[in-house]
Amino acid sequence: MAVDEAMVRGLEYRVQALPTLRLYGWSAPTISIGYLQDAGPFKDAGIPVVRRMTGGRAVLHDAELTYGVAAPSAHRLFAGGIMDAYRVISACIASALNDVGIDAGLSERKSAGGKAANPACFYAPSRYEVLVDGRKLAGSSQRRFKDAFIQHGSILFGLDEGLNSRLFGKDAVEKAAWVRAYKEVDTAAFSEKLISRMAEGFNASFELSALNETEDCLRQSLLECKYSKDEWNLCGSEGTPTIKGI
């Protein structure tokens, strides 16, 4: 989470700000919760909990590929606002799934969820999220700053039904889809397809790189003062620490 935030905040320091794509996984099962979500139901889950800088509901990160796209808000592809960015990015994910033989498409309407809805991200789709057989396979969330935005999300490859049922209830498992329920595809092979589709969709050519010096300093500061702290992860915005150098 610190890298994702450093990636988007670092755009303001770049002379030429271009879209950045990050693909990654998780070293151990972890729950991420939305910026305004109550951490209470997950404090005794027995696995790590981290609060995202983006909104939305809880995700169990386990057998998945996680992506992040950071870009200038004024970029011609994303100048149409939040929903237009969702549409563009989700269409690339759906196309990559089509490439490996999975019939994925985009949801056309916002879910009717409310305050009493299930706390799981994969319980119900929002507009322009990726569906297979009417069930959500990729969940995404977005945050916009003055000059840049980030969208990140999870593309499920497998599902620990027991753990998900314990955390979110059996009905949440029944509403989710995952790649290996349809095709035996590994994340490395799918990543190549996704990079290709993102490059095509963005009309860009991606080059492999690490964080630059400024971004790495931001990452370290965010990690030390925010994402490693219970004040942020479990208490939320009321307990937000001061972030050095931002």
Positions annotated as catalytic residues are 121
In sign, the C-alpha dihedral spanning 84, 89, 94, 99 is positive
Rounded distance, CA 198 to CA 96, Å?
9
Q: Which amino acid is at 118?
A: N
Q: Please give the angle made by the CA atoms of 19, 94 and 184, to the nearest 5 degrees.
A: 115
